[in-house]
Amino acid sequence: MNLPPQTIKLDQIGPVIAEKFKHKGEITCYVGSNAATPTASIEALTASVKSGAVKLPFIKMVHLLLQGPVPYVASGLQDRVMTFSIFSGGDVRQAANEGRAYYLPCTLANLDSLIGKGRKYEPDVVLFKVCRNEYTGEYSLGLSVEALHTAIDHAQVVIAELDASMPFTQGQSVVDAQSIDCLIQEDVKPVYTFPAPDFDNLSPEEKRIGELITKYFITDGITLQTGIGRIPDAVVGMIKDAAYKDLGVQTELYSDGLMYLQAQGIVTNRKKKANMGYSTTSLIMGSRELYDYVHMRTGVQMRPSAYTNAAETVRQNRPFISVNTALGVDMFGNVWADFIDPRRYYSGVGGQPDFIRALNDRVYGTPIIAMKSLTNKGESKITRMHPPGIGLTASAFDGVVIVTEHGIADLRELTSGEKALAVASIAHPRFRDEFLRYVYEDPIFTKPIGVYLDKSPRGVVMYDGDIKLDD
């Protein structure tokens, strides 16, 4: 007999888990992420851990980026609950840098390899948010699908917050009522919202990057993936001012910028080979306007990350343009995004390596790493060598295109010496001559015959527009 979920209160989460796993010493809990972070449930479970009123097993908390407070990473709780974070920010980032949380490196396409049946982090419990269709009674994962279907399928205790502030999204976001064991309807905190992009107040550097990418890589009918942040916003801002048409979207994260292009009719998805007619994504995060736009909209559909980030899906939708950013790039063409240096963990790799490797042949499209040439402290993001000991989202053998406000370095099919010259050429002028001379004089970088410091090397397009920089 199919039974509806049992309605419980937040303070019953701990007792439900304790009773179910009273004979186990350790369990794994997978937590829904990003804008749909179930903060109320996280806080309630942490309160049970702290109080000791019920005997809970040791809990491994596995998740992507969590918004809001994450109290179980507080100092002193690690003998009872421990974080295994695949992508981090805020409280979790600080805890990981202080040895109170684990960073669990994994790309979004490979989440199932961590939490699937029989895998190391197969969940016993899953916490997440849902909304309900008032006409059909169906539940939707709304803003966050990522790997939740896999977690729900294998967990023994499935606990969902019913959140009326979350949109009902289409596609593979629907969850049948029989898959939910416990439903929380009271004292649930709303989904997280973020300001929409301000296209009119982008910095000159951001505008230049957007102009370069739009001018040299965007064409009618391409399929687009962008990350979140001011650099991808700059690309969207330039696209919206051009006359492109019939763009498609297949991305891991659908944001306000992509919504804007779709609402304006620039994104139609009619040229896509896979999922023709609608944008596909595994996560949605942004403004309230964005959430209202995707509510019940068949033109935006959810899919698991294992699908949106799969090389096969990306390649079906060629020509494909992927735009992401990074913390740094070195002269060999290595790119990094999860560590600033071996002692400073920052976030995670997300899906950046998925799209880079899916586009390892230019016949499929172009993987772009777009970043300002300087950090906020005025240090060069381009370095001679990457910090030793950190992971890389792209290695020298991955053919990526680097774009800064000073130009484009297309590293595909270049030798190591040519890569070094190309990367150095788009560094900030404060460092450019030093880098070029370093490459030119070091014999480890074998240079083509006839290379001169005063000429642009192969693969380089320098910015030649009219946007002036502040410095």
- Taking only the tens place, the pLDDT of each residue in 194-252 is 999 888 889 999 999 999 999 999 999 999 999 878 888 888 888 888 889 999 999 99
Closest CA to 336 of 399, 268, 377, 382: 382
Closest CA to 279 of 303, 243, 296: 303
Task: Give percent above pLDDT 90 in the chain.
Answer: 87
Look at the block and give the residue holding tokens 């009271």.
186
- What integer pLDDT is reported at residue 242 of this predicted model? 85
What number is the average pLDDT over the span 59-66? 98
Closest CA to 185 of 168, 165, 162: 162
Domains 6-184 and 199-462 share a fold: yes
Q: What does residue 226 show for φ and ψ, rounded to 5 degrees?
A: -135, 150
Greatest extent of the chain over all pairs of C-alpha atoms, in Å: 79
What number is the average pLDDT over the span 326-340? 95
Q: Dump pLDDT digits (tens) for 150-197.
A: 999 999 999 999 999 999 999 999 999 999 999 999 999 999 999 998
Q: Does the pLDDT at position 81 exceed 90?
A: yes
Contacts of 119 (CB under 8 A, 6+ apart): 112, 113
- What integer pLDDT is reported at residue 452 of this predicted model? 63
CB count within 10 Å of CB 179 equals 15
Catalytic positions, please? 252
Q: Of the given ranges (200-214, 267-281, 418-432, 449-463), which has the lowest mean pLDDT?
A: 449-463
What number is the average pLDDT over the span 22-43? 97
- H-type alpha helices, 288-374: 288-294, 305-308, 311-316, 352-358
Which pair of structure tokens corresponds to residue 146?
A: 């990522």
Q: Does the pLDDT at position 346 exceed 80?
A: yes
- What integer pLDDT is reported at residue 471 of this predicted model? 65
Distance of CA 444 to the CA centre of its chain: 35
Rg (CA), the chain: 23
CB 173 within 8 A of CB 312: no
* Domain range annotation of the chain: 6-184, 199-462
Q: What top-level class would CATH report for the domain 199-462?
A: alpha beta
Q: Does the pLDDT at position 1 exceed 60?
A: no
CA distance 92 to 267: 36
- What integer pLDDT is reported at residue 199 of this predicted model? 86
**Beta strands of 230-370 (E only): which ranges?**
248-249, 253-254, 279-281, 283-284, 300-302, 320-324, 328-330, 335-336, 339-341, 344-345, 365-370
Q: What is the topology classification, in CATH, of domain 6-184? A: Glutaconate Coenzyme A-transferase (3.40.1080)
Q: What does residue 179 show for φ and ψ, rounded to 5 degrees?
A: -85, -10
Q: Does the pLDDT at position 454 exceed 80?
A: no
